[in-house]
Structure 1
Amino acid sequence: MKLVVRVKLLPTLVQAAALEATLHACNQAATWAAGVAFEENARRPLELRKHTYAEIRVRWQLGAQAAQHAIKKSCDAYTTLKANLRNGRYGRPGSRRHTRASGKPVVFRPEAAQPYDDRMLSWQHEQQTVSIWSTAGRLKSVAFTGQAEQLEVLAAHRKGESDLVCQGGKWFLIATCEIPEGVLNTQPVGFLGVDLGIVNIAVTSDGERHCGRRVNRKREQDRKLRSKLQKKQTKSAKRRAKKHAGKEARRAKDINHKISKRIVAEAERTGRGIALETLTGIRERARLRKPQRTTLHSWPFAQLGSFIVYKAKRAGVPVVYVDPAYTSQECSKCHHTERGNRPAQAVFSCRVCGFVEHADCNASHNIAHRGWYVWVCGAQSTAPELTLIA
């Protein structure tokens, strides 16, 4: 199982200047290579290398490995763009957004991430330093720091490339680690259903509700501040909005980590698996009022799901995905399904058997039942290949 650990670099002023010049040179070379790939229709590394490798080495004074990575980064960007176009990320073919995305070459930001392999980057874990290539030569004894748990994982399981990134003037290395999975519990005694929603971010079939009105009030304050800053259109407002957006993302990520940790720990303690909703196409399926749409789409539910899956894999907890259709209208006791079973947003009252419960708890029971059926049929989940843990 692949995980990603992010550690913070502590370069001196001279080292930071060299790293900044390196990122700018690599991304300029990648942007130029992407333009050549667009003009020559050369979207594969070997083909594009014939057109660009020698020029990149001379014009930007990049080393052999850095030039190779710049070319591959351009090709990977076009592969990602093609997948996004195919999946409808930029609208339908022929639309203005689709045409604008597909009708121009890829451009990289000056401080976009640059991959480093073991020839360009070496780690000294005991000294907590790295030796890293730059356009100004090899930078030795560049200090890094991180949480103790992260550094232990990095030292024991790092494998493959690492990415150098600059965010807000701070330098980070994002390293890929190959983590052994836990022994899978092949005989769970049941499944813990998890219902994702608007008022409560997650509700389990044990009746535990995660993050209710307090978090939603804070999210509403964030939306109002974001809207206010967007209307001003001044440089200071844009700068503040960007800073605040990063703060929102970090807060949401921290909450998702805490929720996923508690859910997986409870499933592991009780010997159960975890049943999650399949969220694919939720924006097309959901018919909500505008305020509800904003609340639903502003929370990273996919991130929460990926956190649950990778933590469950490390703990050996089985995870299955179920179809969420009508889980909020189906009675978890007699399984009668009717829209009238939901007289209010938070209330479920079955019109046949009279069963009454909180609507989200009832939906989580249905998800748990469906999870058991999916498990019996042998349809286990697959975890994302890459998950950020730092």
Structure 2
Amino acid sequence: MSTTRTEGAFYSGQYRNVFTEYGYNEKDVLERLESTWNEMFYGDEETRIYHSLDEDKSYLLDTGNLDVRTEGISYGMMICVQLDKKREFDRLWTFAKQFMQHQAGKYKDYFAWHCKPDGSRISQGPAPDGEEFFALALFFASNRWGDGPAPYDYSEQARMILRACIHQGENGIGDPMWDPSTKLIKFIPETPFSDPSYHLPHFYELFALWADKQDRPFWEEAAVASRAYLKKACHPITGLAPEYANYDGSPRTESHEAYQHFFSDSYRVAANVAVDYEWFRVDEWACEQSNRIQAFFSGIAPEGYRRYTVDGRPFEEYSLHPVGLLATNAAASLAATGPNAKKFVDDFWNTPLRTGERRYYDNCLYMFSLLALSGNYRIWK
């Protein structure tokens, strides 16, 4: 069943504050948002993940692996532009631009997906979820703050990235990040399969407005294809998605046995579906999907979260990122219409940021969920 697209925040300019809808004080919500920012970026050594390298560059540290990832840098940039933190945004972007972006070869204009905190690369290959977050964060920066001299000509930098994402390989060198025939994002450019958590149709809707004019029809098609793909990749009863999936949505088993299940990458799907619904409100399937995944986890405490098959069978292995999973289950309340929506928001509100070794991924998901549920994960036009 389809809904009226004009109800989405892109058209109305109205963003739900789910916290205040459920009785939380608006002042308390704003204070939580500011304190979470301060803890993540400038808190004590057991909490913060933002670090400065020199006078103009900073990074977000993956505290579990002690490296710097395009995932984290691009997430940090999106968080900064949402909260109007231009100084930190520019420092993160400068790090990525100088140390991670390829200037030539088969990965030209892509970013090496992880490096050491000093900027030296660990791997040369890219991870497409970084590129799509870089591109939209840069477009938002352009729209919110205006373009400056390179590399702070944000909109041109974004278009350069998207140009590479779909045209790389046309000259016989390298591979695109989106499969040309299916219009689906790949796990990495060289692979013939996807990662459901990479699918951000609400981003592609905006790329269709702001990318190079000749590429806009591609992004329109990518948004449609991505939403159709998520319906196939998410289990019709549990709502769980695998970490890796084939282009038909089935779990990827060939040479990636461990990734055919619901685990760390998969957690992001619930939040992505809900934010897509908040921004564009294309299809009521998002509500049904959000109800399903909240129903599956409604009787499980975060300390009991595990790895699961997509049909819901638990493994002995416990979740590495239970706070992150709780956060994305709560973000699903942007679209959920079932009896569990308030429960997950309350549980999330009563959960602090994670501290210690594994905090990086959990707390990035935590911040995105806090932004979304408070009405502060917004489209900057």
Question: Given the two structures, how large is their TM-score scaled by the length of structure 2?
Answer: 0.23
- Structure 1 or 2, whichever has the larger Rg, is 1
Question: Given the two structures, how large is their TM-score scaled by the length of structure 1?
Answer: 0.23
Structure in which a larger fraction of residues adopt strand:
1
